[in-house]
Structure 1
Amino acid sequence: MNTATPRNYLAQSLREEQQRTLSLCASHTARTIGKPPVYSGITALRISGIEVPYCISLKPCTFHVLYDERSHRASRSNTRYLLHHNLQSTHGIMYIDHQQQRIRFTHPIMTWALLASHLSQVEIIVLADAILRSTLQWIRTSIDDIRRFLENSAPFPSKKRCLAALPFLETVTDSPMEKRSVLALLRYGLPYPETQWSILIPAFGRTATVDMAYPQQKVIIEYDGDAHRQDKRQYRWDERKRQALRAMGYTVIVVFADDIVSKDGRFRFAQRVADALRCDISDIPKPQYKALLSDDRRERARLKQQAYRRREARKGRKV
């Protein structure tokens, strides 16, 4: 499969966002009196050219800035502050010069740890996968780097959930949505598919690479995002490739963003794959992937708390 178009489209988008963020941070830093800010969170990810996870608990703002103590936190507009949590390691503060300004920001691993308390378990995994996927030499990271960081760091909020992400990082996917697709399958008890699987298509005399596959069961899963439709040649190749694979006896399942962003969509997607594999789905993941249940537990706790508050509010109105 020719994946140049989707990859180039994503890489270009990340570069444009990186340059835009650096320009904003240069102006922001220049206006700062005293100690220059250290950017973290979503801002640091954009500076690093890394895909941003779903992070609905953080209110939208342009700048995420690191601080050590509340008394040291300055007052800046359009800024959210993230507590340092004494995360000391070699993966600490980095520097990049832009428009005659030195921009300081947290290394992606440290950023990941700081953001973890604001992320679901799935998004903790998705963000770590995105960090490992980065090919920028100055931030290139391995799973061993992440392991060492967690082993050497003091306790911090969501450290256990960061540790729980490690079993899901042995194989790096090609995009955040592909990782979310894999996790949707694991959540419902299906086995881990092979990712970026290569297969020879004799009709074309060439080897294609598919996003996910269960080769023994002859089931292939392709994530189809907007990037695949940016180039007509790419779109035609995708369609011809899938037709050829089906002619070879493979079941080809195409998954879209709508199939992944909701719980019902993920369930239906997992059911389609299970039907193709001729197996049953389960409400319980395999033991090594049980960390995926934590999001369901947190959601149940949140709904229970909301119901409690509604009951208390009704009692207050009656009084």
Structure 2
Amino acid sequence: MTTWAMMSPYLSQVEVIVLADAMIRGTASDIQVTKDDIVRFLRQVDFPGKTKCSATLPFLDNVTDSPMEARTVLALLGDGLPRPETQWTMYLPELRTVAVVDMAYPDARTIIEYDGDAHRVDKQQYRRDDRKRQAFRAHGYTVIVVFADDVATAAGRRSLTRRVAQALGVPVTGRPLPQYAALSNDRRLAEQRDRQRRCRNRRRRRGGA
């Protein structure tokens, strides 16, 4: 948590949330961290990035299974979509198993799965995933598969949120819901930097003239 706090001033709001999500997931560490631990830490310690770290708390009730899944969830929330359930399960009788999906909107019968490179390299994993998705589609679910470029670029994120919004039958507002308003911080800072860059360019052109 101390390392997270020290890094926070130099990271975007999204990445501060992704790191907090990873701390709680804790798959690479023997040290267990909970949301309550983070709350206590933030009450006891003052540091330059405290506001940014405190803004992570509304995002930590449903932890994801990987950093890229966390970024996928945040892309949806940042454009105003409701939060999906993470690590959602459903029994599939044709496969005789309880299937786990990365993200789901059960009421809208919509499932979102993030596929990293390992899903394509491991043939057994690929077959398991494909059979699972075929079974969900047979039950009337829309299955949306997400890749790295759907999350890593602004254009990819816009396309992803449009696809999910269409499946849910809701509009894309481009503004996060009030409880996730911290996700607007990165956008505001990017717009501010863009305005400053344009201003500097105008001054340079006037100076050259």
Q: Note whether the superposition's TM-score is higher than 0.5.
A: yes
- Displacement, 1:144? 1.1
Mapped partners of 1:165, 1:246: distance in 2: 34
| Aligned counterpart, 1:260 | 151
| Aligned counterpart, 1:129 | 21
- Pick the structure with greater CA Rg: 1
Which of structures 1 and 2 has the larger relative contact order (alpha carbons within 8 angstroms, sep 6+)? 2
Mapped partners of 2:191, 2:27: distance in 1: 38
| Aligned counterpart, 1:276 | 167
Mapped partners of 1:284, 1:148: distance in 2: 30
- Displacement, 1:317? 2.5
Among residues 107, 112, 115, which one is paired with 1:221 in the alignment? 112
- Displacement, 1:146? 0.9
| Aligned counterpart, 2:76 | 185
Among residues 115, 128, 149, which one is paired with 2:7 in the alignment? 115
Answer 1 or 2: which has greater helix percent.
2
Task: Give deviations 1:109-166, integer Å, cap 9, x for gaps.
Answer: 1111111111111101001111111146642211111111111112x22211111111
- Displacement, 1:234? 0.8
Gaps of 5+ in 1: 1-108
Mapped partners of 2:86, 2:30: distance in 1: 26
Q: In the alignment, does 2:146 pair up with 1:250? A: no
Q: Runs (4+) of structure 1 moved beyond 6 Å? A: none
| Aligned counterpart, 1:147 | 39
Mapped partners of 1:138, 1:194: distance in 2: 26
Mapped partners of 2:94, 2:174: distance in 1: 40
Q: Secondary structure at the match of 1:211?
A: strand
Mapped partners of 1:136, 1:183: distance in 2: 22
Q: Within 5 Å, give how 1:31-180 maps onto structure 2.
A: 109-135=1-27, 138-154=30-46, 156-180=47-71
Amino acid at match of 1:210: V
Q: Secondary structure at the match of 1:191?
A: coil
- Displacement, 1:183? 0.6
Q: Secondary structure at the match of 1:259?
A: helix
Distance change (3 Å), C-alpha of 1:137 and 1:279: closer
| Aligned counterpart, 1:231 | 122
Q: Secondary structure at the match of 2:152?
A: coil
Q: Secondary structure at the match of 2:56?
A: helix
Q: Secondary structure at the match of 2:24?
A: helix
Mapped partners of 1:182, 1:273: distance in 2: 11
Mapped partners of 1:262, 1:288: distance in 2: 24
Gaps of 5+ in 2: none
Mapped partners of 1:135, 1:258: distance in 2: 24
Q: Secondary structure at the match of 1:207?
A: strand
- Displacement, 1:230? 3.1
Percent of pairs with identical residues: 56
What TM-score results when the alignment is normalised by the length of structure 1? 0.64
Mapped partners of 1:147, 1:124: distance in 2: 15
Q: Secondary structure at the match of 1:260?
A: helix
